[in-house]
A and B are shown apart, each in its own frame.
Chain A
Amino acid sequence: MSGWAIFGQAVVVLVGGGLVGLFYRGVDRKIAARMQARIGPPLRQPFLDLGKLLVKETVIPKTAVAWLFSAMPFLAVLASFTALLYLPLGPFGPVLEGHGDAILVLYLLAIPALAMALGGFASGSPLGVVGAQRELVMLMSYEFPLAVVLVAVAWRLSELGLAPAFSLGTMAQNPLWGAVGPLGIIGLALLLVSLLVVTPAELAKIPFDIPEAETEIAGGLMVEYSGTYLALFYLADAVRTVVMAGLVVALFIPYGLAGRLGLSGAVGDVVDLAFWLFKVLLVMVVAVTTVRVGMARLKVDQIARGFWLRITAVALSGLLLLVLDKVVMG
């Protein structure tokens, strides 16, 4: 594919990803409000919020390390949008297929979190520092189970002789559910569960919103951010939600509709793309919206010591079952 074609696709995907991310944020807020017996904001509210933030004054505190403080929002946006380019989009493969693999996506997902933590440290506010410390503790807790899930899927794919096994494109084209025995299916289910639990943590949503924790540390690492910078973090967060949900879809529910309906060509692609968007929305509602409506905020030690040990255990036993399945069933 020529450079210009890739560039064109990338622009479409980036703009589309941003729009979908913001729109889904609106859907998330609406559904959450309905569950809480409220009316909730209109679906376009995230766009209004973003627009309002962009015209507001951007304040950099005197005590902040100004260059670091200002660079971090851009880094967060850059990383989350780049991750979009490595995501299989339903009928279409990743835009940058072959230029990076799932491990890169892991890093791209971690960078916004790191950027927020650095921004918190650089803000010169005690609340920001506390929030940043919490973000780092969280990052250390959830990255391992997330990596275990990816490695397990990639390993099983390589055992099937598929290459490149670490590409999200390969993972999305070869759903594992049909390729493994009963033990493997249980293993995959466990991996799916741990990935779904990691999702709200990755996105720092309740019960894992401790880095921001409004009532405790008044917004934590976001406390000093305002105006354009806050808007950028807001946008990065919305896009990251789509990437994270897209990751779950690519790994575990990459099925399309077009084949089953007997559609092909452009119509099939449109149907599949719509179906993919629906799946992403579904994952978001299940893993983020319902969870954040149904739970209280946990404490950092409850997350780090108690909770993550269990999720890591679940992910590892999923991996173990996959291995056993391969060894026993051949």
Chain B
Amino acid sequence: MERNPEGENLEYGALEEVFEVPIGPIHPALKEPIRFTFQVRGERIVDVQIRTGFAHRGIEFMGMRQGRNLIQILYLSERICGICSVSHPIAFTQAVERAAGIEVPPRAQYIRVIISELERIHSHLLWAGVAAHELGFDTLLHLTWRVREKVLDILEELTGNRINYAIPIFGGVRRDITPEQYPRVWEAIRYYRGLLEELLDAFLRDPTVEARTRGVGILEPKEAEELCAVGPTARASGLRKDVRQDRPYLAYSDFEVKAITPADYGLTPVGDVYDKIVVRLLEVGQSLDIIEKALENMPEGEITSFPKIPALLAHLKKAEGEGLGWHEAPRGEVIHYVRLVSGEESPLIWKVKAPTYSNLLSWYPMFEDQEVADIPIIAACIDPCICCMDRVYIVRNGKEETWTKEELLRLSWEKTRRMRR
């Protein structure tokens, strides 16, 4: 901390002076590197600056520029995020399928839905545990993470992996759900149905959790709308915003997904951390509903329209066009944009927009006039995924650079001109 010049009298003066408290890039409250610089008076936050870019790995660049074909890139997209490891491939495959005009058989769509809803359950439980840990309530952390094991086991049973499932492929999915696997999935659903009430009870009716989360990190509905918050962050503020409901894709129109807000739990949405817990826990129940319906109505038939990989690759190489894919990841809307050029194996453009990128700005109103003690839980409450979000970071000659909107616009015009030539 850089002390103010007059701030020498620590015992008393410190409570009056504005201190700079740096949190991150490495700090126990943060699971991934990002830097907050707080201006703090006593225990109150006066101002905050957020700096990102510590986890940028250049995944899009690797996909576009290094001669990888689309199937290789598919596995790369899975590794954008460890938790949303089916959300990114689902958005990416949809983008490519739209660009190349590939149909996905209904059964494959259902399997994609099931896997992505299982992922939502595991992601939300993971978040709930992290939130409890940030509040200093490690018992809840251990209990939620223990019950999370069940869904990871099911994912391993269905896909062969706890994370990085490698399930979607262009035109379908890589593995079917076999008849022997159904009872195990049903059993897991029953397990979580029985647990959900307990989880709601442990989190929402605990006096200390309530004391630490009620009225903390409030995001007003208006702010959520103006700052384009997505996912549970927006829904906790009462916005009925969910890509599965607003622009249904895959088989989601069959399940009539309704965006969940705290109002569904009989609460008036405030947009604080408590509401974010409510929304995420209720969404676990919603995912269970969707999986149940999907299992009951699973259509028969093929699981991919391109059983042979060389045929798929040949088709993709010929394809020309652009496509957008979207998906409601556990953290909110994820978008992949792809532009394919005929005769090229790699896409000309691959652009990813992760949910955390949209939610980043909602941190500013949330941190306003909160206490130092609230920093960890507010930082955690949007369920930030920094490695998803860090898409660009410019360092030239050892110096970091920031580009303004105008400069970026100028660059994109120049690029368009180059491409037309």
Instruction: Enumerate chain A interface residues (CB-CB to B < 8 A).
Output: 35-38, 121, 125-127, 129-130, 133, 136, 206-207, 209-210, 213-219, 293-302
Contact = CB atoms under 8 A, between A and B. Distances in A.
Contact of A215 (B1, B20, B133, B146): B133
A121 B371 contact: no
B208 A207 contact: yes
B191 interface: no
Interface in B196-220: 206, 208-209, 211-212
A125 to B, nearest CB: 8
Given A130-B21, A296-B209, A121 B138 contact: no
B142 A296 contact: no
Interface of B is mostly: helix
A302 B211 contact: yes
22 contacts: A35-B139, A36-B142, A37-B146, A126-B19, A126-B22, A130-B21, A133-B14, A133-B15, A207-B208, A215-B28, A215-B134, A215-B376, A216-B29, A293-B138, A295-B137, A296-B206, A297-B135, A297-B212, A297-B373, A299-B211, A301-B371, A302-B211
B212 A213 contact: no
A214 B372 CA distance: 13
Contacts of B6: none
A293 B374 CA distance: 20
A138 to B, nearest CB: 13
B43 interface: yes
A119 to B, nearest CB: 13
A296 B28 contact: no
Interface string B284-326: 0000000000000000000000000000000000000000000
Contacts of A300: 43, 371, 373
Nearest to B22: A126
B51 interface: no
Nearest to B137: A296
B267 interface: no
Contacts of A133: 14-15
Given A37-B142, A217-B372, A206 B212 contact: no
A294 B19 contact: no
Contact of B373 (A125, A127, A295, A299): A299
B212 A294 contact: no
A206 B14 contact: no
Interface residues of B, number: 36
Interface string B107-119: 0000000000000
B58 interface: no
B330 to A, nearest CB: 22
A215 to B, nearest CB: 4
B136 A209 contact: yes
B373 A210 contact: yes
B366 to A, nearest CB: 16
Given A215-B134, A216-B375, 5 more contacts: A206-B136, A206-B137, A296-B137, A297-B208, A299-B211
A294 B376 contact: no
Contacts of B371: 299-301
Contacts of B28: 214-215, 218-219
B212 to A, nearest CB: 5
Nearest to B132: A296
A207 B136 CA distance: 8
A36 B143 contact: yes
Contacts of B27: 218
A207 B137 CA distance: 9
A35 B141 CA distance: 12
B373 A213 contact: yes
A210 B374 CA distance: 12
A297 B136 contact: yes
